[in-house]
Amino acid sequence: MTNEISAASNRIVSKIDELIDLDKKIFITSSFQTQSLPLLHIISQAKKTVPVAFIDTGYLFPETYKFKDYLVERLGIEVVSLTSNVSMLEQKSSNGDLLFLTNTERCCQLNKVDVLQEYSKNFDIWVSGVRADQSKTRSHLKEFQTNTNGTTRYHPMLPWTSKMVFDYRKLHNLPEHPLEAKGYLSVGCMPCTSTYLESVGSERSGRWQGMKKEECGLHTNLA
């Protein structure tokens, strides 16, 4: 398994370096969860610094910010924090309720999709760490595909499994997100994230519990 993982990670580094040699403007997105670690570690080995876009919705767990800061220091990566142009106080329904309580689709659109759509206009390649085994939606993605902006999406982790992520972490002594020990396998915004035991299901089943929703829109609206 170690040889398989090393070969897989080396292929990604080679592809990133190849795109850099072609003068492609590249960025990577990361939510700084445990499953984000292999790609962040791999991208830190590229021949040129690749900016890491971190979408800060304002609703993230304090532990996520601390984990991000730790990884920036340890891996030497360059992070660009992206925030919505619409303030949190303005993100309300007609009744005055905050959108995360009444319209999660609109909340995600304002805080994630619109933000990244604008940022990605300046780049040729968007590198995303989605995996096919995370959800039905993600299983239909291709390694390379063009999104609605005309930006090319590159999904190098698509064939990786959760076990490969775990083994890569152990191989390189990479820590887990501090909330994982408390039962959070997929960590997003505080109002819309619950523990695995509270949800029971796939890795991402703790997100938007009780709703017919499994994606924020980054991998659907911007696919």
Give a yes or no: residue 22 inside a domain.
Answer: yes
Ligand-binding annotation for 108, yes or no, is: yes
pLDDT at 87: 82
Give a yes or no: residue 36 inside a domain.
Answer: yes
Task: Quickly count: other Cβ atoms within 10 Å of residue 163's Cβ.
Answer: 11
Selecting among 216, 218, 222, 223, the annotated active-site residue is 216
Ligand-binding annotation for 192, yes or no, is: yes
CA dist., res. 219 & res. 158, Å (int):
13
Residue 84's domain is classified under what CATH number? 3.40.50.620
Instruction: List the domain range (segments joined by +) for residue 160.
Output: 2-179
Report the chain's mean pLDDT, rounded to a whole number. Answer: 87
**Helix extents (H) in the chain:** 2-21, 37-43, 62-75, 99-102, 104-108, 114-120, 136-139, 162-171, 196-199
- Calculate mean pLDDT across residues 195-202: 57
Is residue 216 annotated as part of the catalytic site, yes or no? yes
Give a yes or no: residue 213 inside a domain.
Answer: no
Give a yes or no: residue 156 inside a domain.
Answer: yes
Give a yes or no: residue 221 inside a domain.
Answer: no
Give a yes or no: residue 189 inside a domain.
Answer: no
Give a yes or no: residue 94 inside a domain.
Answer: yes
Give the number of domains in the chain: 1
Give a yes or no: residue 204 inside a domain.
Answer: no
Ligand-binding annotation for 30, yes or no, is: no
For the stretch 79-115, pLDDT in tens is 999 999 988 777 877 777 778 777 888 888 999 999 9
The pTM is what? 0.88
